[in-house]
Structure formats: structure tokens, C-alpha cells
Amino acid sequence: MAAPIETKMSDFTGRWSLNRGLSDSLEPCFALQGVPWIIRKVINFATLELQYIKETQSDAAAGPSFAFKQTVRPGGFDQTNTYNIDGEKRTDTVPIFGEITVHCKYLDRNEVKPEQTFGTGIQDDAEKDVAMLEVVESEKMGWRAEALWVFETINGEHRFCKYNIITKGGQSAKAKLVHDYLGPPN
């Protein structure tokens, strides 16, 4: 289902589900990240639901943040966290990858490089000014993941998309993920 046209990267509060028909397979990305074969198979058939809620900041100087909840059925890879969009590196532990370092920041559309959208550029949509870059690294496993989050018009619909590029050594894998809007947070 398309997202409401007023939904933007500056406030993407809502519940989202991965649309496997419009998305690329995550299999090559997970393989490069060292996720075991059986877990990759479970994830490939699981339902993935994401929920984001923009948090109110008491400190006006603090960057925006979003409470995050991921539900994976079946699989048990659920997690809750906070996305701080301030460019600061933070360390976290997640079920599927273990300890990671993550940082997120907003980018103006003119800062987005063609390779971050697999050479396609951001598909025309109602919001032209902002994208979000999420960088995740696993020092233990030796990989780096960059995800560019944007809203795009796909088949005439306003969609939440993530362009993922995983690198490890001289290898890379990529996948574009397209999400369905499920409604407001629970």
C-alpha cells in the first residue's frame, strides 16, 4: 500500500512491511555479511514489519530521533532501538549480526551520489529535499553496510525505499527494498 503523500523522511512515523514483489532479494547481502544459510532462508520467507515513531526532543539542539521496532515472523529476530539522525556513531548489539556500529544522518538530495541509488537516481516523488544515510559496520565480521532511505514514486505510488550496499573486502552486494505502508503506529 502506498504511503500517505505527506509522509516524508523528516517524519516517517508509521508501520511498514517489506514488499517482496517490488524489492530485490536480500540473500546476497546477508551471505556477504556472514548470516548462516538456514537463517537466510527463514528471513527470505518471513514477514518483516517495521514501526517508527518520531520522538519529541527536550533539547532543541539534539538531532531528530525515531523509536524503532522490528518484528520478524517467523524467526525471532525482533528488536527495538532508537535511530538518532545526528551523524554520531553508536555501538549496539542486534540479534542477527551481534555487535555493530551505526550512524545516521540526513542528506540533501543534491548530496546523493548516483552509486547510492544503483545509478538510477531517486525516482520522482513529492519530496525533493532530503534523504537519510544509515551506515552500519561490523568490525568482527569485516563488513560495512550503507543504506540510503528515501521516498520515491513507484508505479505511481508514494513508497518508502532503502537502497542497501554491503561491502566486505573487495566484494559487494546490493538490494533495493520497497515497503508498504500499513498505517499509524500501534
For the stretch 52-79, pLDDT in tens is 889 887 676 677 888 888 888 776 677 7
Q: Where are the domains of the chain?
A: 14-183
Pick the CATH number of 14-183 from 2.40.128.20, 3.40.50.850, 3.10.100.10, 2.60.120.380: 2.40.128.20
The one-letter amino acid at 178: V
Q: How confident is the model at residue 135 (pLDDT cuts 50, 70, 90)?
A: very high
Instruction: Supply the DSSP symbol for 109.
Output: G
Q: Any residues with CB less than 8 A from the CB of 100 and at least 6 apart, and which? A: 91, 92, 93, 94, 136, 137, 138
Burial class from Cβ neighbours inside 10 Å (0-12, 13-18, 19+) for residue 3 reads buried
Residue 128 phi, psi (nearest 5): -105, -5
